[in-house]
Amino acid sequence: MHNDLIQFNYEGLHPYHLKEKLRIGDKYDPVSTPSVSSGSKKYKRKIFGLTESRIGNFLLTIVAHESLNNIKQSNNLELYCHNGLHSDLVLKAKDQYNIILYKNKLIFSNTSRRLDDNPFFSYIGIKFETILCKQLSPTDGSHNKLLLKGKYGRWNFKSVVEIDSFKSNNNNKTLETMSQNERYNNYCEIKLCYSDAATPNVLKNLKTKHELLMFLKKNVTSFSQKFRKWIFQSYFGRQNILTVGIRNKNFKVVCNEEFDIEKDILPFAKSEYQEMYSKFINSIDTLDEKYQEIYDKVKALQKNEKDVFIMDCTSLNVKLVETNEQNKFENILIPEYLEWVNNKNDILLSNKNIDKKFYTKCKESSINNLAEDMTKMSVSDNSVSL
């Protein structure tokens, strides 16, 4: 998302820059503690309309990816989803999803309209991202998403994941010029947490990242739940760097530090949260089994390819839903996607949310394949050492 219009490039992603004087250790010196609350009154959160597709932008991205790169849509069975579905299933979240099995694509759409989201606390997290990325205060929920393709167990999938930022490497390469592996090693998830125990004296005396994580475990409310979310979001989102900020009760950032998922976060999980770590190591097998169960239930119930189902992530209960305005087939699978899969006709330029000038330029010239291939990624206990 760029200038309120959708562009299919890396322009909206900016590198993060840690506040060096707010890193733990001897050089800690909080001479400047930026506020994450400033500018919040101008922020307008995204609320989905009753009949608005929750996966509309994802489906637009699928069309653009295949159209611009001359990719013929495969008839093979494949999962389409937002990336959060994977962790929702492994962690048995309370979320519910609509499901459609259409043209051999098992398509998932979260039912949440975000009505319960607290706009202020949504804002301060995004504000922290803009502080590190040296950008203006956010005024809406515009963000950057990456199209991922890969395979978990027997299941090929395409998903989109929100990317907060990336780390500039020593060669100052842009994302476009980085190799796929370089991008994976530099994509970053940014999180903000609260602790009033994070005083200058305490932070100055923390010498290692392990010590900082132990501090967070003891002094951040519900840290185990936050930490679990960080791990699964980062792994399934193909982000190898986790940058964490700490704010105080005055909404001032008093600390920031970066962690390597494989070198810092997973070893900590293995030593401090064994059950969580076990879930992580077995997550691909878990997903393989759950997607098979979901597919079997849908196939058993489906009478028409336009049937819409609803699923509870906690119980995996799947049932056919009566057609209404909110979960109608045509509301979930947008016209641009249906026109593409049924007639191979790209009509994205008719969509008001597409940057028409940019997309026309893309169609008239070659474009990089912006989908990240995760097929070779795996979870292995051997990759984690203490």
Q: What pLDDT is recorded for position 116?
A: 79
- 154-164 per-position pLDDT tens digit: 999 999 999 99
Q: What pLDDT is recorded for position 46?
A: 85
Q: List per-residue pLDDT tens for the chain, 386 residues long.
A: 444 688 888 888 999 999 999 999 999 999 999 999 999 999 988 888 888 999 999 999 999 999 998 888 888 999 999 999 999 999 999 999 999 999 999 999 999 988 877 899 999 999 999 999 999 999 887 778 889 999 999 999 999 999 999 998 767 778 888 888 888 889 999 999 999 999 999 999 999 999 999 999 999 999 999 999 999 999 999 899 999 999 999 999 999 999 999 999 999 999 999 999 999 999 999 999 999 999 999 999 999 999 999 999 999 999 998 767 667 999 999 999 999 999 999 999 999 989 998 898 888 876 555 567 654 433 333 333 22
Q: What pLDDT is recorded for position 369?
A: 54
- DSSP code, position 334: -
Q: What pLDDT is recorded for position 326?
A: 66
What angle, 0 to 180 degrees and rounded to 10, lies between the N-to-C axes of helices 356-364 and 56-68?
30
Q: What pLDDT is recorded for position 34?
A: 98
DSSP 110-133: E----TT--HHHHHHHHHHHHHHT
Burial class (CB in 10 A: 0-12, 13-18, 19+), 208: exposed
Q: What pLDDT is recorded for position 172?
A: 74
Q: What are phi and psi of 191, to 5 degrees?
A: -130, 150
Average pLDDT of the chain to the nearest whole number: 90
Burial class (CB in 10 A: 0-12, 13-18, 19+), 343: exposed
Judge if pTM exceeds 0.85.
Answer: yes
Q: Say which residue the tokens 């051997």 belong to.
A: 382
